Amino acid sequence: MRAKLKFSAPGKLIISGEHAVVYGYPALVTAIDRRLSIEGSGKDDKITSDIPIGAGMGSSAAFAVATSALRIKKIDLPKINELAYKLEKKHHGSPSGVDNTICTYGGFLWYRKESENLKTFKVIVPKTKFPKIYLLNTGKPVESTKEMVTHVSDLYRGRKSYFDTVFRGIEKITKEFLGLLLNDSNSDFDELVKYNEELLEKLDVVSPTTKNIIRKIEKIGGAAKITGAGGKKESSGMVIVYHNDSDKLLKFAKDNKLDLFSVKIGEEGVRIEK
């Protein structure tokens, strides 16, 4: 009888660069403390997960990475990453490699599509801790995410030079977030979050309801930005929220009946579970 092994892999979150990344601008992603585990011997494996499905939080890649680890039967990061990429390719056709890489290595990852055939990846070893953040679930957008991608694409084609300026602004913020991680920036985390949100609103991917919640968070001294494709009619999906006084934020969420939960970022990649 073969011994059962258990491996787990984290979900992920995009900190900065959503939408802009489609047009060759960089993105910064991180592993989170939501994980998917697979236990078994390659047959009738038991899967457990607390990563939301279809929310852009890497549930599919976490599955590919944990499955790869189970097949390889040990933690060999390059091998796991390579196999997980193959599985992702089988599933999605043309994965960039971002999701399997962050779910394998954990921490933070810098990514940019330089051209159709050249992509840059860099696993970031942080020199400092990022502030504690929360996720606010504004609900499932009524639009499909394809509509959001098309919407931004239409805007971009209509006013290319203007939206290039917006994307360059997002790129600058993504670099500043990276600078914070590397202890190489004097920017304030909350100001970067606010400015990032301002630019995402220029892309028209944030709904009036979500904007209203974000303005209220700013009013009590916090900062928030959507993470992922967004939504412009009613809900906008997940929102990253920061406040230096967590109690104030939790009270605000309770008073306004908002679905707010803490999330740890920069978490460990694939690992064997005892």
Partner 1 sequence: MSTEFVNIGTDKEPSMVPPEALQPDTKEGREYWEMVATGSVVLENQVLDLLLEKINESKT
Contacts to partner 1 by CB under 8 A: 14, 17-19, 21-22, 27, 29, 53-56, 58-61, 87, 90-96, 98-99, 111, 113, 116, 119, 144-150, 152-153, 228-229
What pairs with residue 120 in β-bridges?
112
Tokens of 96: 């960039």
Quote the least distance from Cβ 246 to partner 1, whole Å: 27
Q: Are 39 and 45 in contact (CB under 8 A)?
A: yes
Q: Which is nearer to partner 1, 167 or 252 (CB)?
A: 167
Q: Which is nearer to partner 1, 89 or 172 (CB)?
A: 89
Q: Are 68 and 62 in contact (CB under 8 A)?
A: no
User: How far is it, in rounded angstroms, from Cα 27 to Cα 55?
Assistant: 17
Quote the least distance from Cβ 59 to partner 1, whole Å: 8
Quote the least distance from Cβ 48 to partner 1, whole Å: 18
Q: Which is nearer to partner 1, 87 or 217 (CB)?
A: 87
User: How far is it, in rounded angstroms, from Cα 26 to Cα 115?
Assistant: 12
Q: Which is nearer to partner 1, 222 or 267 (CB)?
A: 267
Quote the least distance from Cβ 96 to partner 1, whole Å: 5
Quote the least distance from Cβ 95 to partner 1, whole Å: 6
The number of residues making up the chain comes to: 274
Q: Which is nearer to partner 1, 89 or 264 (CB)?
A: 89
User: How far is it, in rounded angstroms, from Cα 85 to Cα 34?
Assistant: 20
Angle at which helix 160-181 crosses helix 145-158, to 10 degrees, equals 120
Greatest Cα-to-Cα distance within the chain, rounded to the nearest angstrom: 64
